Amino acid sequence: MKESIPNIVDIKRIQETLKAKLWVKNTAEGEYITGIYASDLMSDVLAYGNSGSVLLTGLNSVQAVISAYMAEFKGIIFIRGKVPEKETLNFAKEKGLFIFSTEDDMFEACVKIANIEGKAPEIIDETKTEKKAWNIITHTFYIDGQDFASAGMVSTQVKAILKSIGYDPLLIRRAAISTYEAEMNVVMHARKAEVTLTASDKEIYIIIIDEGKGIKDIDQAMQVGYSTATEEQRALGFGAGMGLPNIKKNADVLEIDSVVDTGTRMEIVFYVK
């Protein structure tokens, strides 16, 4: 069961509308919430609930408040006049969640909340209401240039994540090899980089944005054997000029934008079949 309200509503109005009893305060005056999540299934709360929401639930156990805390909710409203357990209240106090209870049942409470005319506050700090889609997984990694000792760590982590999701082994292999090549490029030629992995059931996206010397001629860099690696780097076994061609070979889409002396943005896409 799920009901979310489009507008941001302040907690006080919800309390008034539901004639809710306050158990644990923990709210600042005029604090806003970003949504209501109504459910008795705590695994759904963890999977689909957005941070900054309120949990409306009939599950009167400490499990509920722990789940709400995990999902970065602001608080809980218990329905049908449930009296929260002492442990629940203590946990909420400790972790900074508020707790209300209302005499309404789930349906009545949802309808009432849905009918509140939401007044969006004028300034919303978007960074504090991070919304993540439940069917996409995102991870960010960082690479330091010239750090040959740690080279390969990011691609190893990317591979581990893709493996645990359970993609086709061949697809994982292609993604891991491409990430490794891109990682080596950063280590050899850039100062630092941010790698973002975004994965869904449709595609795997890997974006590498580096700060560094950039690529002068991308077409030339794409040629097999072309390399600007130093003698030392070659002595270490890197820089054979296979990096970009190898990524191109493995990826479904490879897009490179580069500004000389500023950096390179590389987008690698793999389609999930």
Partner 1 sequence: MRYYHSHVIIQEKCTGRLTCIRTCPTQALRYRNNSIIFHDDLCVDCGACINACEEGVFVPIIDEIADFEKFEFKIVIPSHTLYTQFGLNVHPGLIHRALLNIGFDAVHEISKHAYELSYVVSESLKSNIQRKPIISNFCPSLIRLVQVSYPNLIDLISPFDVSRELAAKEAKVKYSRELGLSQDKIGVIFISPCPAMVVSIKQPAEKDKSWIDGAISINDIYNSILPEILRIQEESSEEAENDFFYYGKSWGVLGSIQKHHDPEHTISVAGIDNIKMILDDIEDSRLQNVDYIEAFTCPQGCISGAYCVENPYISRNTAIMFEKRYGDPPEIDNKEIHLRMDKNYYKLDKKVIPRITRSMSGDITISIKRMNQKQKILRKLPNKNCGLCGAPTCETFAQDCAWGDAELTDCIFLKSNSH
Q: Does 71 bind partner 1 (CB under 8 A)?
A: yes
**Residue closer to partner 1 (CB basis): 31 or 87:** 87
97 near partner 1 (CB under 8 A): no
Least separation in angstroms between residue 229's CB and partner 1 is 16
User: Does residue 167 belong to the site contacting partner 1 (CB under 8 A)?
Assistant: yes
How far is Cα 198 from Cα 205, in angstroms, rounded to an integer? 5
Rounded to whole angstroms, the Cα distance separating 70 from 25 reads 19
What phi, psi does 140 have (nearest 5°)?
A: -120, 140
* Region class of 172: left (phi > 0), else alpha (psi between -120 and 50), else beta: alpha
Q: Which residue has the tokens 């891109």?
A: 182
The CB-of-52 to partner 1 minimum distance in angstroms stands at 13
Binding mask 1-40 for partner 1 (x = CB under 8 A): ----------------------------------------
63 contributes a contact to partner 1 by CB under 8 A: yes
Question: Does 269 participate in binding partner 1 (rule CB under 8 A)?
Answer: no
> Among residues 58, 118, 152, 245, which is the contact residue for partner 1, using CB under 8 A?
152
Pairing of strands 263-271, 253-259: antiparallel
| Shortest distance, position 265 Cβ to partner 1, whole Å | 23
- Quick one: 84 or 214, whose CB is closer to partner 1? 84
Which residues, in sequence order, are CB contacts of 76 under 8 Å at separation 6+?
54, 55, 56, 57, 64, 65, 68, 92, 97, 98, 99, 100
Least distance from C-beta 169 to partner 1, angstroms?
Answer: 4
Classify the phi-psi angles of 72: left when phi > 0, otherwise alpha if psi is within -120 to 50, otherwise beta: left
Spatial distance between the Cα atoms of 158 and 176, rounded to a whole number of angstroms: 7
Q: Residue 89 in 3-state DSSP? A: helix
Q: Which is nearer to partner 1, 6 or 237 (CB)?
A: 237
Positive or negative, the Cα torsion across 77, 81, 87, 89? Answer: positive
Q: Find the part of the chain contacting partner 1 (CB under 8 A) among 18-26, 32-40, 172-180, 225-233.
A: 172-180
Question: Residues 1, 116, 137, 269: which binds partner 1 (CB under 8 A)?
Answer: 137
Which region, judged by CB under 8 A, interacts with partner 1, from 16-24, 66-74, 207-215, 254-262? Answer: 66-74
Alpha-carbon Rg for the chain in angstroms: 25
Given the structure tokens 């990694």, which residue do they identify? 141
Residue 235 found at the interface with partner 1 (CB under 8 A): no
Can you give the binding site for partner 1, defined by CB under 8 A?
42-43, 46-47, 62-63, 66-67, 69-72, 86-87, 90-91, 93-94, 132, 134-137, 152, 155-156, 159, 161, 163-167, 169-170, 172-173, 176-177, 180, 199-201, 237, 272
